[in-house]
Amino acid sequence: MIKELFQRYPHNPIISINDIPYMANSVFNAGAIKLDNKIFLLMRVEDRRGISHLTLARSKDGINDWQIDNQPTLTPNPDKYPEEIWGIEDPRVVFLEEKRIMAITYTAYSKDGPLISLITTTDFQNFIRYGPVMPPENKDAALFPIRFNGRWSMIHRPVSYMLTEKANIWISFSPDLKHWGDHQVLISARKGSWWDAKKIGLSPPPLRTDEGWLILYHGVKTTVSGVIYRLGLALLDLKDPRNLIARSDEWVFSPKESYETYGDVDKIVFPCGWIQKNDDILLYYGCADSCIALATASISELLEWLKKHNSLSGGKQCT
Tell me which residues touch ligand BMA (CB under 6 A): 29, 89-90, 229, 265, 268, 270, 286, 289
Q: Which is nearer to ligand BMA, 249 or 289 (CB)?
A: 289
CA distance 56 to 123: 11
In terms of CB distance, is 145 or 201 closer to ligand BMA?
201
CA distance linking residue 90 with residue 28, whole number of Å = 8
CB of 288 to ligand BMA, least distance (A): 8
Task: Name the residue number minimizing CB distance to ligand BMA.
Answer: 265
In whole angstroms, the minimum distance from the beta carbon of 286 to ligand BMA comes to 6
Least distance (Å) from ligand BMA to the CB of residue 162?
19
Nearest approach in angstroms of CB 2 to ligand BMA is 28
3-state secondary structure of 303: helix
Q: Which is nearer to ligand BMA, 28 or 173 (CB)?
A: 28
DSSP string, 58-79: EESSSSS--EE-SS-SB---TT
> Cα–Cα distance between 62 and 38 in angstroms, integer?
7
Identity of residue 231: L
Classify residue 35 by burial, with Cβ atoms within 10 Å: 0-12, 13-18, 19+.
middle
Residue 17 or 265 with smaller CB distance to ligand BMA: 265
Q: Which is nearer to ligand BMA, 86 or 124 (CB)?
A: 86
DSSP E strands in 149-258: the ranges are 152-158, 169-174, 181-187, 199-202, 207-209, 212-223, 226-236, 244-247
Least Cβ distance, residue 222 to ligand BMA (angstroms): 13
- Between 40 and 229, CB nearer to ligand BMA: 229
Rounded to whole angstroms, the Cα distance separating 243 from 20 reads 42
CB of 265 to ligand BMA, least distance (A): 4
